[in-house]
Amino acid sequence: MTALEPKTVSLHGRSISYLEAGEGPLLLLIHGIAGTRESWRAVIERLAREHTVLAPDLPGHGTSAAGCGDYSLGAFASTLRDLVLTLGHQRATLVGHSLGGGVAMQFSYQFPELTERLVLVSSGGLGKEVSLLLRAAALPGASLFIAATAEPGRVVGSSVARGLSVVGLRPSADVAEVARGYASLADSRRRSAFLATLRSVVGTEGQRVQAADRLYLAAALPVLILWGDRDPIIPAHHGEAAHEAIPGSRLEIFEGIGHMPQLEAPARFVAALERFLAETATGPRRADRQRGRLSAVGSRRG
């Protein structure tokens, strides 16, 4: 892949780093927790052949500055809205992985007029179950443990990769990416952002934020759900349940793939996404349809 130079823009006095490539309709790629724009590195060039691809580091992640202390899905969605508009774009197809799927759903809920389509990749926010490792990180005192084990960086990252393979993560691209993200938590600011982000969506008993009661609103949009059937972080049946709850949505399960289809099977990922983009029209430009759905539900329950 041709090297892409990261760019930086200042939003509300804080820097946001991002990659941007290509021309055409906008694809906004949203990474997962402790991830960075690099989690999309295997697919950006291919997707940029016919689209503008924008892959930012969320606040407190990668080389973006830490946020103001609010690491909720809503705060992330607002930052992405501001980034999209600041860079001169009007609408986007949202492609969210893991935590990024939750952010994408929140973005589409808050800013339907800016959302063309919704693509959920191994998405959070669709059920309670989540990896024991993430639930453990929500425990009090987890910061001290993470600081002690992440400090050696890449050396510990390799050890973590081996350990993760023991508890179910295969020694492949998904393990390497998780290990890389874990090593980044040696930085105290990144660690604080990670824990604040995690605890806003995950507790010791599982995911705390779920979109199940609002999925009917997504029927106004073309929706694609992609998942690996060997995902050890978030089970694939969450995607299957969401597919049943969203009329007209599409579901693709990648056999033999873990939590990161875009890294583990990039060619198949791009093919599935490009097929979806070619075969679907963009969602409505105004929020009227969503407003109508909300009103209809309110009337039935009144």
26 pairs with which residues across the strands? 52
Residue 214 has pLDDT above 50, yes or no: yes
Is 261 inside a domain boundary?
A: yes
Q: Quote the strand ranges of 130-285, DSSP E.
A: 202-203, 206-207, 223-228, 250-254
- Residues 46-62 have a mean pLDDT of 96
In this predicted structure, the answer to whether residue 44 has a pLDDT above a threshold of 90 is yes
Q: 132 and 168 in contact (C-beta within 8 Å)?
A: no
Q: Is residue 47 part of a domain?
A: yes
Does residue 270 form part of some domain? yes
In a domain, 231, yes or no: yes
Share of the chain above pLDDT 70, in %: 85
Over residues 285-299, the pLDDT tens digits come to 765 555 554 444 444
Residue 37 sits in a domain of what CATH number? 3.40.50.1820
Query: Which tens digit of pLDDT belongs to each residue from 86-142?
Result: 999 999 999 999 999 999 999 999 999 999 999 999 999 999 999 998 999 999 888
Rg of the chain over all Cα atoms, to the nearest angstrom: 18
Residue 70 falls inside a structural domain:
yes
Task: Return d(Cα 199, Cα 242) in angstroms, integer.
Answer: 23
Q: What is the mean pLDDT of the chain?
A: 87
CB 38 within 8 A of CB 61: no
- Strand-strand pairing, 206-207 and 115-121: unpaired
Cα–Cα nearest to 283, from 215, 226, 223: 223
The answer to whether position 259 is within a domain reads yes
Window from 11-20, 111-120, 203-212 with minimum mean pLDDT: 203-212
Does 69 reside within a domain?
yes
Handedness of CA 270, 272, 275, 280 (dihedral sign): negative
pLDDT value for 15: 96
Q: Which residues contact 140 (CB under 8 A, 6 or more apart)?
A: none
Would you state the pLDDT for residue 151?
A: 65
Q: How far is CA 213 from CA 42, 218, 288, in A?
A: 34, 11, 20
Choose among 198, 214, 205, 211: nearest CA to 238.
Answer: 211
- pLDDT, greater one: 114 or 146: 114
Choose among 62, 83, 60, 84: nearest CA to 72.
Answer: 60
Q: Residue 150: its pLDDT value, please?
A: 78
Residues assigned a catalytic role: 98, 231, 259
Amino acid 79: pLDDT:
97
How far is CA 15 from its chain centroid?
Answer: 20
The pLDDT of residue 294 is: 42
Give tens-digit pLDDT for 168-177.
444 456 667 7
Please report the pLDDT score of residue 33 as a whole number: 93
> How many domains in the chain?
1
- In this structure, what DSSP letter does residue 135 have? H
Q: What residues have CB less than 8 Å from 32, skipping those under 6 apart?
A: 39, 97, 98, 99, 100, 122, 124
Look up the domain containing 269 and give its range.
7-130+205-297
Q: Which of 63-67, 82-86, 177-181 shows the lowest per-residue confidence on average (mean pLDDT)?
A: 177-181
